[in-house]
Structure 1
Amino acid sequence: MSSTDKNLSEFSTNDLPDISGRTFAIVVAEWNHEVTEKLFDGAYQTLVDYGAKPENIIRANVPGSYELSFGAQVFARKQNVDAVIALGCVIQGETKHNDYINHAVAQGLTQVSLECHKPVVFGVLTPNTQEQALDRAGGKHGNKGDEAAMTAIKMLKLV
């Protein structure tokens, strides 16, 4: 289902684990700062709203979405981090750079998650326009940051 058919900030909250003692790392791409800051705000607030302690939420910035995989790996390898949320935004431009970056980031984050045996969540927007990005970063389609945080919480039930 596409986000035009579903609000990213609406999700089931049945049977969530207690996250009050869990530590989360949120790795945020600085590129498309206007969008990624809103994604961070959504993810952070969702974690706090569902029981995470603010002092157990670590933020790290990386230059762009391509660097999210390495940033996520740094935190996923830490024993005290239970889940990693990677937030970024790659907007379609005049070239196919977004195809290469989005594919590399998706593969990289998946690899980190599998190698480190921890939830590493893909919270990267891949819109065609800035307007679509803002619609999915707290706009009319909700906030992908909210969804990414809830995914991390739900995945912790498996660990």
Structure 2
Amino acid sequence: MNIIQVGITTKNASIAIIVSRFNEFINKNLLSGAVDTLKRIGQINEENILIIYVPGAYEIPIVANYIAQTKKYDSIIVIGTIIKGDTDHFKYITSDTSSSLLNISIQSHIPIISSILTINNVEQSIERSGTKMGNKGSQAALSALEMINVMKKLKKLKI
């Protein structure tokens, strides 16, 4: 039996973070958690982290696709907050954004880790951006670090 299991430290990795400005009061906490985790736990140098701001969650996939095509980054973390409103707009933005990001990740072989909160109200977003539900930005960074090492290991083994 062959088992691939890796750690989360990856000093020489390059990571792009795409952040929605819409609902910025939540997203800045998610970004702070992600960057802190990358630097402190992953030991990523600050100069290896690129942060790109976009208007909203719906604009994230086009930038993620561009970044993925450059092949300069080992992983992409996407940060946003989509709060359910009174219309179906929430469903379409959430579904289209998620499936676009998944397709880009699969086609490029670059892990795209989502910290896009899809929640019912502001209170839920606050809980997930650093209070009682933890910081989903930090959790996304941990996933990105591990996935970078998984992909490196797969390439090294030529699997």
Q: Do the two structures share a fold, i.e. TM-score over 0.5? A: yes
What CA distance in whole angstroms lies between the structure 2 residues aligned with 1:103 and 1:95? 14
Structure 1 residue 157: Cα displacement: 2.2
Larger Rg: 2
The whole-number CA distance in structure 2 between the counterparts of 1:18 and 1:148 is: 14
| Alpha-carbon distance in 1 for matches of 2:82, 2:107 | 25
Residue identity opposite 2:39 in structure 1: V
The structure 2 residue matched to 1:62, chosen from 41, 51, 54, is 54
In the aligned structure 2, how far is the partner of 1:44 from the partner of 1:75? 18
Q: Which residue of 2 aligns with 1:7?
A: none
Kindly state the Cα deviation for residue 115 of structure 1 after the two structures are TM-superposed.
1.2
* 1:96-155 deviation per Cα after TM superposition (whole angstroms, max 9, x unaligned): 111111111110110110111110111110111011101101111111101111111111
The amino acid that maps onto 1:65 is A
Whose helix proportion is higher, 1 or 2?
2
Could you say which residue in structure 2 is the equivalent of 1:120? 112
Q: Is it true that 1:28 corresponds to 2:19 in the alignment?
A: yes
Q: Helix, strand or coil: the match of 1:22?
A: coil
Q: Does 1:37 align with 2:64?
A: no
Structure 1 gaps of 5+ residues are: 1-13
Q: Is the 8 A contact 2:19 2:80 kept in 1?
A: yes
TM-score, length-normalised on structure 2?
0.88
Runs (4 or more) in structure 1 with deviation over 4 Å come to none
Query: Which of 84, 105, 111 is the aligned partner of 2:103?
Result: 111
Residue segments in structure 2 that go unaligned for 5+ positions in a row: 152-159
Cα distance in 1 for residues equivalent to 2:124 and 2:68: 30
* SS of residue in 1 equivalent to 2:80: strand
The percentage of counterpart residues that share the same residue type is 33
Please name the residue that 1:100 is paired with.
Answer: 92
Q: Following the alignment from structure 2 to structure 1, what is the Cα–Cα distance between the partners of residues 93 and 22?
A: 13
> Residue 156 of structure 1 aligns with which residue?
148
Q: Which of 130, 137, 145 in structure 1 is aligned with 2:137?
A: 145
Report the alpha carbon displacement of residue 158 of structure 1 after superposing the two structures with TM: 2.1
Aligned residues: 146
Residues 1-60 of structure 1: per-residue CA shift (max 9 Å, x gap): xxxxxxxxxxxxx94144110000000001001011111001111000121111100000
1:62 partner amino acid: V
